[in-house]
């Protein structure tokens, strides 16, 4: 991860100095001071530039400037700073990491100026956060690695350096959670499968004080998790259920405050579709069908890392969906942990099957005050919302509001989708309590959510987030390189911080 430093004194020498220019190339106090040392070289370069106008995310690299002990000076445009929100500031950090990386500059010193209405320490912390989030790559499988193109260290200079350092500390822990999710989602299925996924989670989270219990296939079968087990039957790699328990609420708190919240993640480490085999082209993408479990794991790392004052239970249902002589067939009927029977009409609608038993188990054993599940569940979600929003389905009024609000504030956007009795009715089976697909093409994401709701006990607030369109990206944004996005970690951490932590 990118190293950061926060200091009050400007160094006499730096490989690169970074300053900011606002609307119409207006320089701030620190930028003006540096400009004077260069005998006005920065202002002259800005005036001479045909493309740089101080707009947000514009950059200009000056080489060979005299008067300062630096090889380069980088100017980053802020645009209009009045009314800026934290995600705007983080985007500046992403731009900073990108321009340094593009120019092959591994170290830099950033002179922080005051933006209109912004706390300078908060500005510095969130620029650093944005830079860290953008400065990510996944190349562990490359035998011939090129010289590491990532930025190694950025120092920030401002009067309130100690405050900025304190504000950045929890953000750095959240970034570590995002990176854990990105790593998991990016890893190929020959190395990341149910057993290794569970082991990775235990190794990563135990040192942070998270208790991790791993249920084997034999244990789950004995417990009656017939729905989850049906998905993993066709694979030589047996399924697992990893249960993570984090207790951050002080022991002196009330019983109500100690009641946990719960997160459940779909962890299909590879999805061929089973006997209902998917088409070959694009099947390689199904290594990230464990995206929901990846988000839940990264969230737990973020919460435990920053020592969030909340009690959390997280469950990830891990299985590999493969065709074989042992695989579940279309038309088979299985009994879930809840006792409800399911007619499996399509083995490629497997995510809801593993979630069904995981959702029931977390309610039976831990009785949480609310549950959020995450899953790359349906292609229909991509048809509905594209790659810009995740869909939220819920049996509650307040919970989806919290998720939509947190999504807007972190730019991990969600959209509250409707649920109705007709979609629930569509899941009825003539020979079992329900079927795992409706049998029609309409409302595919909604009928999937209706299926899941049948495993939620009355009175338990629950939300299902379908992240099929946002778990992986083929394009780069301000703070997210293309590939595994880590979408959901920042969103849920923010929601927990705002609504569920003991203050």
Asked if residue 369 and residue 224 are part of one domain, the reply reads yes
Residue 147: is its pLDDT beyond 60? Answer: no
163 inside domain: no
Q: Which helix (H) or strand (E) holds 343?
A: strand 341-344
3-state secondary structure of 369: coil
State phi, psi for 188 to the nearest 5 degrees.
-70, 155
Q: Which helix (H) or strand (E) holds 120?
A: helix 120-134
Asked if residue 441 and residue 374 are part of one domain, the reply reads yes
Asked if residue 188 and residue 104 are part of one domain, the reply reads no
Asked if residue 382 and residue 242 are part of one domain, the reply reads yes
Asked if residue 148 and residue 178 are part of one domain, the reply reads no
Please give the Cα distance from 412 to 405 (Å, whole number).
10
Task: Give every CB contact of residue 192 below 8 A, 6+ residues apart in sequence.
Answer: 184, 200, 269, 287, 290
Please give the Cα distance from 188 to 195 (Å, whole number).
14
Please give the Cα distance from 441 to 130 (Å, whole number).
40
Please give the Cα distance from 115 to 118 (Å, whole number).
5
Residue 146: is its pLDDT beyond 80? Answer: no
Asked if residue 493 and residue 368 are part of one domain, the reply reads yes
Q: How confident is the model at residue 148 (pLDDT cuts 50, 70, 90)?
A: low
Please give the Cα distance from 152 to 132 (Å, whole number).
10
Query: Where in the sequence numbering do the catalytic residues fall?
Result: 278, 352
Asked if residue 200 and residue 94 are part of one domain, the reply reads no
168 inside domain: no
3-state secondary structure of 405: helix
SS (H, E, C) 410-470: HCCCEEECCCCHHHHHCCCCCCCCEECCCCCCCCHHHHHHHHHHCCCCCCCCEEEEECCCC
167 inside domain: no
Q: Which helix (H) or strand (E) holds 408?
A: helix 398-410
106 inside domain: yes
166 inside domain: no
**What's the whole-number mean pLDDT along residues 405-424?**
98
C-alpha gyration radius of the chain: 25
377-408 core/surface letters (b: 16 or more CB in 10 A; e: else): bbebbbebbebebbbbbbbeeebbebbbbbbe
Query: How many structural domains does the chain have?
Result: 2
Say what the pLDDT of residue 28 is.
87
> In this predicted model, what pLDDT tens digit does every residue of 166-193 receive, in sequence order?
999 999 999 999 999 999 999 999 999 9
Residue 108: is its pLDDT beyond 70? Answer: yes
> In this predicted model, what pLDDT tens digit does every residue of 440-478 receive, in sequence order?
999 999 999 999 999 999 999 999 999 999 999 999 999
Residue 109: is its pLDDT beyond 70? Answer: yes
Say what the pLDDT of residue 114 is.
85
Last residue of a domain, one of 158, 183, 216: 158
Asked if residue 300 and residue 182 are part of one domain, the reply reads yes
Asked if residue 113 and residue 251 are part of one domain, the reply reads no
Residue 161: is its pLDDT beyond 80? Answer: yes
State phi, psi for 153 to the nearest 5 degrees.
-150, 140
Share of the chain above pLDDT 90, in %: 92
Say what the pLDDT of residue 116 is.
84
Q: How confident is the model at residue 482 (pLDDT cuts 50, 70, 90)?
A: very high
Please give the Cα distance from 340 to 348 (Å, whole number).
20
Please give the Cα distance from 417 to 383 (Å, whole number).
13
Domain membership of residue 94 as a residue range: 3-158
CATH of the domain at 418: 3.40.630.10
292 CB burial (10 A radius; 0-12, 13-18, 19+): buried
Say what the pLDDT of residue 143 is.
83
Sign of CA dihedral 49, 51, 53, 57: negative
**DSSP character string of 167-189:** HHHHHHHHHHHHHHHHHHHHS-T
CB 264 within 8 A of CB 371: yes
Q: What is the mean pLDDT of the chain?
A: 96
3-state secondary structure of 287: helix
CB 289 within 8 A of CB 353: no
Q: Which helix (H) or strand (E) holds 222?
A: helix 217-223
147 inside domain: yes
Please give the Cα distance from 174 to 97 (Å, whole number).
18
> In this predicted model, what pLDDT tens digit does every residue of 215-269 receive, in sequence order?
999 999 999 999 999 999 999 999 999 999 999 999 999 999 999 999 999 999 9
Q: How confident is the model at residue 38 (pLDDT cuts 50, 70, 90)?
A: very high
Task: Give every CB contact of residue 395 below 8 A, 6+ residues apart in sequence.
Answer: 419, 453, 456, 460, 461, 462
**What's the whole-number mean pLDDT along residues 318-340?**
98
Please give the Cα distance from 226 to 220 (Å, whole number).
8
Asked if residue 292 and residue 236 are part of one domain, the reply reads yes
Share of the chain above pLDDT 70, in %: 99
8 inside domain: yes
Residue 84: is its pLDDT beyond 60? Answer: yes
Please give the Cα distance from 210 to 410 (Å, whole number).
25
Asked if residue 491 and residue 450 are part of one domain, the reply reads yes
CATH of the domain at 60: 3.40.220.10
For the sheet with 414-416, list strands across it.
Answer: 211-215, 240-247, 311-321, 261-271, 371-375, 462-466, 390-394, 414-416
Asked if residue 281 and residue 252 are part of one domain, the reply reads yes
Residue 34: is its pLDDT beyond 80? Answer: yes
């Amino acid at each position: 991860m990118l190293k950061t430093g926060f200091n009050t004194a400007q160094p006499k020498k730096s490989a690169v100095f970074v300053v900011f220019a606002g609307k119409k190339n207006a320089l701030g106090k620190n930028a003006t001071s540096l400009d004077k040392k260069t005998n006005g070289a920065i202002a002259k370069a800005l005036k001479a530039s045909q493309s740089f106008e101080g707009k947000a995310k514009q950059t200009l690299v000056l080489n060979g400037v005299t008067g300062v002990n630096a090889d380069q000076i980088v100017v980053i445009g802020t645009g209009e700073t009045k009314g800026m929100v934290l995600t705007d500031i983080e985007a500046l950090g992403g731009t900073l990491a990108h321009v340094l990386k593009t120019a092959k500059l591994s170290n830099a010193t950033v002179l922080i100026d005051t933006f209109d209405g912004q706390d300078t320490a908060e500005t510095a912390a969130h620029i650093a956060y944005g830079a860290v989030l953008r400065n990510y790559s996944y190349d562990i499988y490359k035998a011939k690695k090129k010289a590491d193109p990532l930025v190694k260290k950025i120092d920030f200079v401002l009067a309130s350096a100690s405050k900025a350092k304190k504000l950045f500390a929890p953000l750095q822990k959240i970034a570590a959670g995002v990176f854990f999710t990105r790593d998991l989602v990016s890893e190929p299925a020959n190395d990341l499968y149910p057993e290794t996924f569970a082991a990775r989670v235990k190794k990563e989270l135990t040192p942070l004080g998270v208790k991790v219990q791993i249920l084997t296939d034999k244990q789950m079968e004995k417990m009656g998790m017939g729905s989850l087990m049906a998905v993993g039957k066709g694979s030589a790699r047996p399924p697992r259920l990893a249960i993570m328990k984090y207790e951050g609420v002080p022991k002196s708190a009330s019983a109500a405050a100690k009641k946990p919240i719960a997160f459940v993640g779909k962890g299909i480490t590879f999805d061929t579709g089973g006997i209902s085999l998917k088409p070959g082209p694009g099947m390689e993408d199904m290594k990230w069908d464990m995206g929901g479990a990846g988000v839940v794991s990264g969230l737990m790392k973020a919460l435990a890392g920053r020592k969030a004052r909340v009690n959390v239970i997280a469950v990830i249902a891990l299985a590999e969906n493969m065709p074989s002589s042992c695989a579940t067939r279309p038309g088979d009927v299985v009994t879930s942990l809840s006792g409800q029977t399911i007619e499996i009409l399509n083995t490629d609608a497997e995510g809801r099957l593993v979630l069904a038993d995981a959702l029931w188990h977390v309610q039976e054993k831990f009785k949480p005050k609310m549950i959020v599940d995450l899953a790359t569940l349906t292609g229909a979600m991509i048809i509905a919302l594209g790659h810009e929003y995740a869909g939220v389905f819920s049996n509650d009024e307040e919970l989806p509001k919290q998720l939509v609000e947190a999504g807007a504030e972190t730019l991990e956007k969600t959209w509250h989708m409707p649920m109705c009795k007709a979609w629930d009715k569509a899941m009825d089976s003539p020979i079992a309590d329900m079927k795992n697909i409706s049998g029609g093409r309409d409302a595919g994401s909604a009928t999937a959510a209706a299926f899941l709701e049948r495993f939620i006990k009355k009175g338990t607030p629950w939300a299902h987030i379908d992240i099929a369109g946002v778990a992986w990206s083929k394009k780069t944004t301000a703070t997210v390189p293309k590939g595994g996005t880590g979408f959901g970690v920042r969103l849920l951490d923010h929601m927990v911080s705002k609504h569920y932590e003991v203050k």
